Amino acid sequence: MNNVLFNYLNNFYTAYLNDIIIYSNNKLEHETYMKKVLDCFYNISLQADIKKCEFKVKRTKYLKFIVSTSSIKVDLEKVKVI
């Protein structure tokens, strides 16, 4: 994934294997970034599983974290066993 989107890495997106998160400061910026990522996917015939996608959210689970507009926290459900 990082090979495809290398020019944008850590500017407005990050990825781990096939998990991608796109971040921005405002709605317009976010829409621009999403379009850039989806255009890259389209150009190499890569598809996203829409059932696994979330768009325009202010809080989401990413890897073992809960990421929001104000913080990044450990997902306690993922570390309960420990």
Domains, the chain, ordered by start: 6-79 (3.30.70.270)
The backbone region for 45, taken as left when phi is positive above 0, alpha when psi lies in -120 to 50, beta otherwise, is left
How much is the pTM? 0.77
pLDDT band at 80 (very low <50, low <70, confident <90, very high): confident
The whole-number pLDDT of residue 76 equals 86
The whole-number pLDDT of residue 82 equals 61
pLDDT per residue as tens digits for the range 24-51: 989 999 999 999 999 999 999 998 888 9
H or E element that contains 22: strand 19-22
